[in-house]
Amino acid sequence: MKLLAVDQDAICARDRGLWRALRDRTGIENILVVPERWRVNGQLVRAEPENTSLCVIPVAAVLAGRSHRAFYPSLQRLVRKMNPDILYVNAEPESFLGFQGAYIKRCTGASLKYVMMSWRNIDYPQGGFPYKLARVHDWAEKYSLGTADACIARSSDAAEILGKRGFGKSVVIPPAVDLSVFYPADGDRGSADGRNNRWVAGYVGRIDEQKGIDTLLKAVSSLDPGVSVLIAGEGPAKENLQRLARSLGMAERVMWEPAVPHSQVRELFTRLDALVLPSHTGIVWKEQFGRVLIESMACGVPVIGSDSGEIPDVIGDAGIIVPEGDPRALAGSLLHLRDNEQLCRDLIARGLSRVERHFCIDAVLPQYQELFTRIAGEPSAGTTS
């Protein structure tokens, strides 16, 4: 079986662990297509070379970084040249790339199987997609769902929404965390990072209003000066949040770090005593997963999340859940975690165990293999360790 996978999230070499495992430990011949350039959190990232036998092909992308509008002009020619059994695109059904994959399947013929991906956990009404050209995206979704052989849903809510559209071929598979990239720190956490013995709560990700970073700042401002905050990332809400920190009289307790490539996020985790994801639910968005949670758990960092969207299901019993938009509740949880060493150790152990059971490559790989072999009509050869 030959698989051609299009995945902008694998533009960096350290983020290709799942695709390498699929090649090495199954009978699937895997060709990975990545964009030559992709804009991530305002930064232009270039495709990194691959130093293993995994076949990685960088191609030009139009509107690179705009996940619902980007597409690859050369993709159809590449599919014809490679002649895969399965085409997988890391794209939502309503996106231009989702539509492009469906169009390529229809042009190629029924022998090519087509698989998409969906994070969406809000059931928008017809014409209600929260971006321009909503009706065009409605049509693209209908076309894609009428063509695809399967869709990898990142949550049960995403699968349920597609089911309401009449698409019953979704498989819920969570994103995978690579334990060779995300793993616990040795020795004392962040011993040389200038923390001055402060206890550090951190946020890592895009700095948008809906991420609830204001709740984190308000919570920490009510605690003693021994608790500080590290906020890493870029986004439109950054300046407003910096003003908020000054107005709360805590500017000197907040460390602002720029966005870094995904493969460098672990170094930020080593500076934290707790990772906080305090997302707010809005009219058109709620937290779709929170990948930073499973990466933090894999690094042995306790997590605290709000009850927005998928966060409680991702954390399970391996962290602390607080009501979204409630600084007092978050402050109490931060203080409880800081002052309770046994709780901290318990959450670290539970987080590591939860990642190993549900989210690491070893846990997720068999689900990908089963899906691809089933839709290709081939018997599964089984994974090898």
* Predicted pLDDT of residue 284: 85
Q: Are residues 225 and 336 part of one domain?
A: yes
Res. 160: pLDDT tops 50: yes
Tell me the C-alpha distance between 305 and 293, whole Å: 8
Q: Are 352 and 298 in contact, with CB atoms under 8 Å apart?
A: yes
| Residue 309 neighbours by CB under 8 Å, 6+ apart | 121, 279, 281, 286, 287, 288, 289, 290
Q: What is the mean pLDDT of residues 283-311?
A: 95
pTM: 0.92
Question: Tens of pLDDT along 330-346?
Answer: 999 999 999 999 999 99
* Predicted pLDDT of residue 245: 97
Q: Are residues 237 and 168 part of one domain?
A: no
Res. 385: pLDDT tops 60: no
Q: Are 5 and 349 in contact, with CB atoms under 8 Å apart?
A: no
| Residue 189 neighbours by CB under 8 Å, 6+ apart | 270, 271, 272, 273
**43 vs 155, residue with greater confidence:** 155
User: Is residue 383 included in any domain, yes or no?
Assistant: no
165: number of Cβ within 10 Å: 13
Q: What is the mean pLDDT of residues 263-292?
A: 93
294 confidence band (pLDDT: 50, 70, 90): very high
Q: Are residues 212 and 347 part of one domain?
A: yes
Q: What is the mean pLDDT of residues 123-128?
A: 86
Tell me the C-alpha distance between 367 and 369, whole Å: 5
Question: Tens of pLDDT along 242-259?
Answer: 999 999 999 999 999 998
Residue 290 is part of which domain span? 199-358
User: Is residue 116 included in any domain, yes or no?
Assistant: yes
380 confidence band (pLDDT: 50, 70, 90): very low
CATH code, 83: 3.40.50.2000
- Percent pLDDT > 70 in the chain is 95
* Predicted pLDDT of residue 187: 59
383 confidence band (pLDDT: 50, 70, 90): low
Dihedral angle of Cα 371, 375, 380, 381, to the nearest 10 degrees: -100
* Predicted pLDDT of residue 191: 41
Q: Are residues 305 and 365 part of one domain?
A: no
Q: Are residues 226 and 87 part of one domain?
A: no
Query: Which 3 state secondary structure label does DSSP give 103?
Result: helix
Res. 190: pLDDT tops 50: no
Among 102-116, 132-146, 154-168, 194-208, which stretch is predicted with the lowest mean pLDDT?
Answer: 194-208
Number of domains observed in the structure of the chain: 2
